[in-house]
Structure 1
Amino acid sequence: MRAILVDDENPALLQLDRLIQGDGRIEIAGKFTQVRAALEHAEGIPVDIAFLDIEMPGLNGLEAAERLHAIHPGIQVVFVTAYNQYAIEAFEVNAIDYLLKPVDPERFAKTVSRLEARLAPQQETAAPVLVRQDPQVICFKRIEVLDGTGSGSRLKWRTQKAQELFALLVHHRNRWVAKDQILMTLWPELSADKAVTQLHTSVYQVRKMLKAWGLGSTVDYSHESYCLVQREVEVDVDRFLRDTAMEEIRDLRDLQRLQSGLAQYQGDYLEEHDYGWAMSAREELRRQFVRSSLLAAEYEQAVGQARKALDRLLGLQSVEPFSDEVCRKVLLSYLQAGETGEAQRHYDAFVRVLSEELDAEPEMETMMLAEKYFRIG
């Protein structure tokens, strides 16, 4: 497999080069800090893979991917970016994957395995080659089960109550949940007999799913309680909590781990489901996401990555549009960059959002910061 690497930052190119050399499955056909040079080079040589940074001056990575597809229709594109919000756009131009900077070696190895499977020659009658990965349970945004074959298949539930029961058991994974608690949570409107019947049916469906999908986990029953025993399957919330469990960032490795955790947060916890029992956890996980994002931005500012810190904070403000703390961080970032006009525009927009949506005003600390630097009124 032959690949070209394109990133306008040399340190990022060097890290990707080291990962490829250490993996040993990819041959580097060229490294470039300018997109146009990479495109010219690609016209004259066979290329199987392109690792592209998205945010580059001039022609960005998304546009470069479209040009490369025109030159080599079968080329596999992997985007390398510091901002996971580009993932949806990336896959709209037929990228096979995207990697979050700084690239995690384990995550990189999985991407190379996917590339290897996609590019491996196959006979017309042969079954598609799938790379076995650990199955995963997704809780951020919605409850999903990825089967682990690399096919991207997602579990479809027979009933909404079976899905909610599974979500509830995942929520309490490896802990016993009393049968009566489940009945009152999922079927409070039914008589005892009907509720028990619904419970038994849903438990059967969940157990059948776990077995059919080879997830390794089981639903055990003992002393009038149920427990989802977690085996061979990772829950995205667990990784998020594990990788964001830090009070300070000491070095690049800590930042890399923190970014890996933040990348798991693709939306609020079970936000697409109206599960009242999930509200408390949803709010706590959101607070953790905000704390960790602010920690990452603070470190990026400290090491001279002010633009990355500002972009992170702006993304966070879209998640927490009413947060005075986030607003103040954004304002200070703009002011440190000498962009006073942008800072005032951001503050004015924040004031409008609070007034229109909450009929409220910014906190005193935020207004004092604005009065110090802007023309108010």
Structure 2
Amino acid sequence: MLTALIVDDEELSLKRLKRLLLESGEFGECHAFQNPSEAYEFARTKSIDIAFLDIAMPKIDGMTLSGKLRELDDSIQLVFATGSGDYAVQAFDISALDYLMKPVTAERLNRTLDKIGRSRHGASTLHVQLLNGLKISDRGQNETPIQLRSPKTEELFAFLVCKLTVSREEIVETLWSDLETEKALKNLNSTLYYIRQAIDADKINKVIHSSRSEIRIEENGFYCDLYEFERLLKEIRSVPERADKLLKQAEALYTGDLLKGKMFDWAIPLRRRLEKLYIEQLEAACRRSLANNRPLDSLHDFGLILKLDPLREDIHHEVIRLQIELGHKSEALRQFQLLEKVLYQELGMKPDPRMNEYVMNMTL
């Protein structure tokens, strides 16, 4: 998640930009100041990724402040948000990322966020999908699927992307445990070569960094749906007031299990952990919806949970009760019949007899 510093002596503009940035889902923290001196003192002790600066401010103008911020950390990206176009040339002379005219609209800000994304990922068009399978593509001018040489090449690439930093010893113990160490290391080197051969050198060299002892993935060097999904789950926990909106974004990403269809033993605990975290957030969303009298939202999220874990009898019960409360007796009965079928087929069991009695009394 990115950290933003916003400096503007106009309170309404300051609050509006802060709201738009937080709603974008790109920023974990947005520190807003009307006083440029206070903003500078804050930046002296805190890490800032991007500074959004007004230009015409008392005592210290935005151009002066930008220079002071760059002296603290020359990696800080600068975006100017101002009511005047007179400073645009000067802004780009100091390599500002963008120049926004007030009032800043969500549509215009999205273009800035696109630039931020390209900057973070080194303008890489490499796109890796790990949810609902494994797909690699170059999303340049013409989207091109990237095919790796063999299942083992796919497995090594997926393993590295999931682990981020891993020793060569752990790699060979996981992927080539049946081979002697020397031969396993040779296989690792040759398989890594095939990955580099399949993906454009300019792109893959920004992603995979190898040494004699370990191999590291640069997660900011490309787009990966797994990283984005985990980022969203983390932000849901840290910014609960935006949980519902962020969960919708996570739902759009989670189209299937991690590395679905790939028989990688090492991926099983990762897959279960990810599913568990997602279900926890879905259950929390259901509770929020029920507390705020949004039963249809609860039914939607309960349904997502049951797609992931159809044996959750307690969730079936919640759905049945909600359907009955809404007057949907036929849907409640169908849900109970589905529960009967699933429990019998998978576990050879019957539903709780108390639920059986409840459904019969309420639907007949």
Say whether the fold is shared (TM-score over 0.5): yes
* Other-structure match for 2:131: 140
Residue 277 of structure 2 is aligned to residue 288 of structure 1: yes
Q: 1:356 to 1:197 in 2, by over 3 A?
A: same
Q: 1:242 to 1:368 in 2, by over 3 A?
A: farther
Match of 2:245 among 240, 256, 267: 256
SS at structure 2 position matched to 1:231 = helix
Maintained 8 Å contact 1:248/1:295: no
* Other-structure match for 1:360: 349
Letter in 2 for 1:327: H
Maintained 8 Å contact 2:279/2:305: yes
Distance 1:339 1:181 in 2: 54
Shift of 1:142: 1.4
Letter in 2 for 1:178: S
Deviating 4+ runs (over 6 angstroms) = none
Letter in 1 for 2:131: F
More displaced stretch, 270-279 vs 333-342: 333-342
Shift of 1:165: 0.7
Equivalenced residue count is: 247
* Other-structure match for 1:346: 335
SS at structure 1 position matched to 2:144 = coil
SS at structure 2 position matched to 1:195 = helix
Shift of 1:155: 1.3
Q: Deviations over 1:159-216 (max 9, x none)?
A: 221111111111111x2x2222212222233344432322111111223345447256
Taking only the aligned residue pairs, the percentage that are identical comes to 22
Q: 1:150 to 1:356 in 2, by over 3 A?
A: farther
Instruction: Please give the residue correspondences for 1:109-148 in structure 2 after superposition, counting only pairs within 5 Å.
Output: 135-148=126-139
Distance 1:230 1:196 in 2: 24
Letter in 2 for 1:292: Q
Q: CA RMSD in A?
A: 3.2
Q: What 5-or-longer segments of structure 1 have no aligned partner?
A: 1-18, 20-104, 114-131
Q: What 5-or-longer segments of structure 2 have no aligned partner?
A: 1-19, 21-105, 115-122
Shift of 1:280: 0.4
Q: 1:195 to 1:249 in 2, by over 3 A?
A: closer
Distance 1:294 1:213 in 2: 43
Instruction: Pick the structure with greater CA Rg.
Output: 2
* Other-structure match for 1:95: none
Instruction: Please give the residue correspondences for 1:16-31 in structure 2 after superposition, counting only pairs within 5 Å.
Output: none
Distance 1:248 1:204 in 2: 40
TM-score of the pair, normalised by structure 1: 0.57
Distance 2:145 2:202 in 1: 10
Letter in 2 for 1:374: M
Q: 1:294 to 1:249 in 2, by over 3 A?
A: farther
* Other-structure match for 2:117: none
Q: 1:337 to 1:247 in 2, by over 3 A?
A: farther
Residue 140 of structure 2 is aligned to residue 155 of structure 1: no
